[in-house]
Chain A
Amino acid sequence: MRAIVLALSLTLPVGAFAQDRLPILTDTVNAHILPGYAALAEATQTLATAAQTNCDPMSAALRAAYHTAFDDWISISHLRFGPSEVDDRAFALAFWPDTKGFTPKALTSLISAEDAAIQSSAAFAETSVAGRGFFALEQMLYDPQFSQLGSEDYRCALIQAMAKDINLNASAINADWEVYAANLTSPGETSPYRSENEAMQELYKALITGLEFTAETRLGRPMGTFDRPRPKRAEARRSERSLRHVALSLTALRDLAARLSADHPDIAADLDGAFAAAIGRAQSLDDPAFEGVATAQGRFRIEALQQSINDIRAIASAELGPTLGINAGFNSLDGD
């Protein structure tokens, strides 16, 4: 039996050729990942300070800081591996979709009970992820349901605790990435990625799952079905950021795709053309919260946007995947 176990450990990924991936890995880490998380850490610091200065939900400075920090999060929200996954940090930054309304429930419960957990960062970090992060903060700033609930002092302290928690999480991810980066740029024995190919595959997976999330969840949830559109399921609709998230994520994914295909100019050109088409469609939509899903014409245009993202997915999996030794097994990709 020993021999068989040994044989398994010698099995190599199918289709993997010895290629020098280091330039792409180094470039993606240094120009795509690290600046993205650094920007988020900085913007969330501004957000925490703004909330400390003025916690009024109508405060222009607070709302502007919220938008900038949320933009920076969406632009890296496809990088869901390593430091973002420690202690559910990414989920604590962005709990969405919220299919069962846990965020309003968590907020109502915190405010009604005047939960003292908001007085300490450590205690607040132990509370439900549904009551933390950008989506919980959005409801405190933009949902009339929470503008009058409980005492003004508690609501203010809650907004400040949320902003600080967001900043602590973003800073922790950023700090960990400074260390984690070497795993991608120096794969091998001491890295979770044993080869440059495995490191490339992690980044490719981020591209594919990012596209999938934007097409199927960011667009698919509000679209619902023709007979039953769900505009109230649009992401961050209260602050009218739904379409903005699609555009931001496509822009970020276009940058990632360009870097990953840098050594295959033909594929890079195909991908870039498809991204340009999708981003063009997003920019021509004048429907920030996807309310148009409820009308035939609005729906048609959002469906076209979704299709254009699916076109990118098709190119990525047909052209880019095979260059990275992605084994398209019938069952291994099934997920069932």
Chain B
Amino acid sequence: MTSRRHFLAGLAAASLAPMRGWSAVGAPDYLAAALFPDGSYRLAGLDPSGDILFSLPLPARGHAAAAHPHRAQAVAFARRPGTFAIIIDCATGTQTAQLEAPQGRHFYGHGVFSTDGTRLFTTENDYEAGQGVIGVWDTDSYRRITEFSSGGVGPHDMRLMPDDRTLVVANGGIETHPDTGRAKLNLPIMQPRLTYLDQSGEVLEQVALPRALHKNSIRHLAVRADGLVGFAMQWQGDTSQHPPLLGLHRRGDAPKLLSAPEADQIMLQGYAGSIAFSDAGDTVAITCPRGNALHQFRVSDGQLVGAFPLDDVCGLGTGPNGFVFTTGTGVVGRLTATGAKIAVRSVCQWDNHLVPIRAAA
């Protein structure tokens, strides 16, 4: 549906869009949460070679972060079921504001800014109702404006579509309640959904998996510049099954599920942590910390093009010269044409996600 011209224009816009406030301050290329050797949880800014430009303390274990589109500002989220999110001035590496989830809500660890930068959207749990909500915050005051249904249970990752209006939400389907920690309360009846919403909360499209895969929790997202959505999944069903952990979806179509050949797929223990498209958009990759592997697929035919053994790999970001990954053992590395290369061994343990500040994804 999308013309090639439109596609290329989108790519150019994404990679060339100036991060106005960011560029002036020698901004980091990536953000990532980590556990440091002194036992503190911190958010770090990384340069392209994996060196830590700054780090600042988080109140507890972090998860993901989101960068403001033009201020040198980022928001770092608590790992679920945390209730804090902190706003960071990335020029100085200091905290400028802290968000608290409202009464009866907790954050899931992901969020996204609107394209104009005036709004922040956060995935949250209305845990008494067992329903997902999207919180809407004003980015001048960082006060909460409103909220609306996420269109499902357990919303986790959320991204803005290239039309700059539509939100795509990974409603993982799993109900949890802070009283019972991270216990999963509804596995036999869980219904994960990939949900497209407009910014007033109207559901534009709901995408479900085939019935036999209803225990495959849709958790993390990547969006290509032409609107192709990649989603990474976590299998909650019988461990003797090895379903696909990566899906691709285009609005209006059925989702397409990608799987490695069986010998590789069974190594993954049903768990993918992060997902990203390559800079050119021709490949998509997932990290699999339980299987200690990074799997890279060709988008055009859905074939596995590489399975890279990497201990506890989880963070994954698009980079101009190949995927950048982080691991729970402290490695920052890059995937190149000749394989996975370790750039730096940091002293910290990198947490789930690596968030690119300037790249298209």
Contacts A8-B267, A81-B239, A85-B237 given: A129-B183 contact, CB under 8 Å? no
Residues of chain B within 8 A of A221, CB atoms compared: 177, 179-180
The answer to whether A329 touches B312, judged by C-beta atoms less than 8 angstroms apart, is yes
B80: shortest Cβ distance to chain A, in Å?
7
In the complex the two chains form, is B328's CB within 8 Å of A329's CB? yes
A127 within 8 A of partner (CB): no
The complex places the Cα of A100 from the Cα of B311 at a distance, in Å, of: 40
**In the assembly, what is the distance between CA of A143 and CA of B219, in Å?**
38
Interface residue? A296 (CB, 8 A):
no
B281 at the interface (CB under 8 A from A): no
Q: How far, in whole Å, are A230 and B185 apart by their CA atoms in the complex? A: 16
Q: Using a CB-CB cutoff of 8 Å, which residues 169-212 of chain B contact chain A? A: 175, 177, 179-183, 185-189
Find out whether the CB atom of B238 lies under 8 angstroms from the CB atom of A9: no
Q: Do A336 and B109 touch (CB < 8 A)?
A: yes
What sequence of 0s and 1s flags, for each residue 107-144 of chain A, a beta carbon within 8 Å of any chain B beta carbon?
00000000000000000000001100000000000000
Interchain CB contact under 8 A, A99 and B339: no
B259 within 8 A of A: no
* Residue B309 is within 8 A (CB to CB) of chain A in the complex: yes
A192 at the interface (CB under 8 A from B): yes
Residues of B within 8 A of A5 (CB): 264, 306-307
Specify which chain A residues have a CB less than 8 angstroms from the CB of B312 in the assembled complex.
327, 329-332
Within 8 Å by CB of A220, from B180, B186, B311, lies: B180
B292 touches A220 (CB 8 A): no
Report the count of interface residues on A (CB-CB < 8 A): 41
* Contact status A8-B293, CB under 8 Å: yes
Tell me whether B289 and A332 are in contact (CB under 8 A).
yes
Question: Which of A1, A81, A331 gathers the greatest number of chain B CB atoms within 10 Å?
Answer: A331
> Is the CB–CB distance between A331 and B273 below 8 Å?
yes
* B308 close to chain A: CB less than 8 A: yes
Residues of B51-73 whose CB lies within 8 A of A: 63
Of A85, A100, A230, A335, the residue contacting B238 (CB under 8 A) is A85
Residue among A9, A100, A329, A335 with the highest chain B CB neighbour number at 10 A: A329
- Min C-beta distance of A69 to chain B, whole Å: 20
**B273 contacts across to A, CB distance below 8 A:** 331, 334
Q: Which of B181, B238, B313 has the most CB of A within 10 A?
A: B238
B186 neighbours in A (Cβ, 8 Å): 99-100
Contacts of A130 in B (CB 8 A): 189
- Asked if A11 meets B328 with Cβ closer than 8 Å, knowing A4-B306, A335-B182, the reply is no
Listed by A's residue number, 20 A-B pairs whose Cβ atoms lie within 8 Å are A5-B264, A8-B307, A8-B309, A82-B240, A91-B188, A99-B186, A102-B189, A217-B185, A220-B181, A221-B179, A230-B179, A329-B289, A329-B292, A329-B311, A331-B313, A331-B328, A334-B289, A335-B271, A336-B63, A336-B219
Q: Could you list which residues of chain A lie within 8 angstroms of chain B, going by C-beta atoms?
A: 1, 4-5, 7-9, 11, 14, 81-82, 85-86, 88, 91, 95, 97, 99-100, 102, 129-130, 192, 202, 212-213, 216-217, 220-221, 223-225, 230, 327, 329-332, 334-336
Please give me the 9 A-B residue pairs with the lowest Cβ-Cβ distance, nearest first.
A330-B328, A91-B188, A331-B314, A85-B238, A329-B312, A331-B289, A332-B289, A220-B180, A331-B328
